[in-house]
Amino acid sequence: GDSVTQMEGPVTLSEEAFLTINCTYTATGYPSLFWYVQYPGEGLQLLLKATKADDKGSNKGFEATYRKETTSFHLEKGSVQVSDSAVYFCALRGRTGGFKTIFGAGTRLFVKA
């Protein structure tokens, strides 16, 4: 069945450091791919998405590119801020998963001032 694998956390960075959170997926066909973010004490909110191969999703300085050849959707940000401290979930949604959203395990990011 469909699955999402993302790098384990926690990830601890200093402010203005470069961020990469790796995400790979297994699915048949062309699922939509998402990154959701969960700030402390809150629900999830969509950070960015891509719906077809080679699409780049971007928001708030974060980017991720849908790579069909490597089945990856890595999240990057050039310069993190303390306010980016949160849990990040990679997710997919596609036909073979019955259109249910499949979430990765989540990666907790701590950004130090």
Binding site for another protein (CB under 8 A): 31-32, 34, 36, 42-46, 49, 51, 89, 93-94, 99-101, 103-106
- Residue among 17 and 26 whose Cβ is closer to another protein: 26
Residue 93 main-chain phi, psi, to 5 deg: -150, 120
Question: Distance between CA atoms of 40 and 35, rounded to whole angstroms?
Answer: 16
Output the six-digit token pair for 68.
């069909």
Question: To the nearest whole angstrom, how small is the minimum distance from the Cβ of residue 99 to another protein?
Answer: 4
- Residue among 10 and 78 whose Cβ is closer to another protein: 10
Question: Distance between CA atoms of 75 and 11, rounded to whole angstroms?
Answer: 13
- Residue among 53 and 105 whose Cβ is closer to another protein: 105
